[in-house]
Amino acid sequence: MIFLHILLFLVTIASTIFVGGYLYSCAIMTILLCHEMGHYVMTRRHGIPSTLPFFIPLPLPPFGTFGALIKMKGIITDKRALFDIGIAGPLSGFIVAVPFIIAGLKLSTITTVSGIPASSYMELGEPLLFKILEPLLVGEIPKGHELMLHPLAYAGWVGLFVTSLNLLPVGQLDGGHVVYAVFGRQSKWVFYGVIAGLGILAVFHNIGWFTLVILLAIFGRNHPRPLDEETELDGRRKKLAILGLAIFILSFIPAPFPEMTIKNVLQQAGLFH
């Protein structure tokens, strides 16, 4: 079985090199590996059998990969184990992504919009962390100019995007594990709020969220219950939960691809003028 894990890892390296080059591949693979190994280490720590990470190659823009995952083979014992496994991945991935973002932003270049080839231009939304760091590391960007992200910065952007998606507090996503560990069965109300919020974002900011809303509505409603639902989280874990919320806020991108609005999609389909 380990042969399959190695093969998928190597193929995903190749697919990310194909899409973004060696630096991008090195950075994004490191971020994804640390994310999944955070989960893996915690499953082992709590005595829950799990697989090594399965990497998912996709030799197509914009990411070159569908990410990675591990599969747990045992029942989660209690809320503390559930919390530790859920938070470890996003926390590890975020910590590793930040240095790539800092280095990548310092290496990024400011250029005129007209100087960017249309074939290589893709507008990206900015997570809060980028908005905080850009003035410090890049400076003011003049009107009519754009920041061309260095491959390391782009890998960091993708890492934040993946982190924020995983931290959505629904279903069996990492955030779903965390919020169930904190609120138990009352976490269903968080689920309804998230679905409503993503629906609003889909209408007013980015139509791409509709796909996620549909998937989460179908598969993300119920969360498997741990054997012990009575043992509550300790103070340290509650503080880590607040840290997880801060990471989500810093990483979340309301409109990852700003041009994917309902109006633009209808215009391209010839249904709106």
pLDDT in tens, 142-201: 887 888 999 999 999 999 999 999 999 888 899 999 999 998 888 888 888 988 998 888
Query: Which carries the bigger pLDDT value, residue 265 or residue 254?
Result: 254
DSSP H stretches of helix in 138-234: 151-166, 174-183, 187-204, 209-219
At residue 56, φ and ψ (nearest 5 deg) are -115, 105
3-state DSSP helix/strand/coil % of the chain, to nearest 5 = 65, 10, 30
Query: Which tokens hold the place of 151?
Result: 């491959």
Query: Which carries the bigger pLDDT value, residue 101 or residue 213?
Result: 101
Q: What is the pLDDT of residue 266?
A: 47
Q: What is the pLDDT of residue 116?
A: 62
Length of the chain: 273
Mean pLDDT confidence for 82-107: 96
SS3 assignment, position 150: coil
Q: 36 pLDDT exceeds 90?
A: yes
Q: What is the pLDDT of residue 108?
A: 94
Q: What is the pLDDT of residue 269?
A: 46
* pTM summary value: 0.90
Confidence of residue 53 (pLDDT cuts 50, 70, 90): very high
CA distance 44 to 50: 8
Which of 79, 56, 110 is CA-nearest to residue 177? 79
Alpha-carbon distances, residue 51 vs 36, 39, 81, 204 (angstroms): 10, 10, 17, 40
Sign, CA dihedral 148-152-158-159, equals negative
Mean pLDDT confidence for 198-224: 80
Q: 271 pLDDT exceeds 70?
A: no
Q: For all residues of the chain together, what is the average pLDDT?
A: 88
Q: Per-residue pLDDT tens for 109-147?
A: 988 766 566 555 678 889 999 999 999 999 888 887 888
Q: Which of 1-10, 144-153, 256-265 has the lowest mean pLDDT?
A: 256-265
Q: What is the pLDDT of residue 205?
A: 77
E strand segments, the chain: 54-57, 65-69, 109-112, 145-148
φ/ψ bin of 231: left (φ > 0), alpha (ψ from -120 to 50), beta (otherwise)? beta
Confidence of residue 210 (pLDDT cuts 50, 70, 90): confident
Question: 54-57 and 65-69: which strand pairing?
Answer: antiparallel
CA distance 244 to 174: 10
Domain boundaries, the chain: 2-268
Query: Which carries the bigger pLDDT value, residue 86 or residue 216?
Result: 86
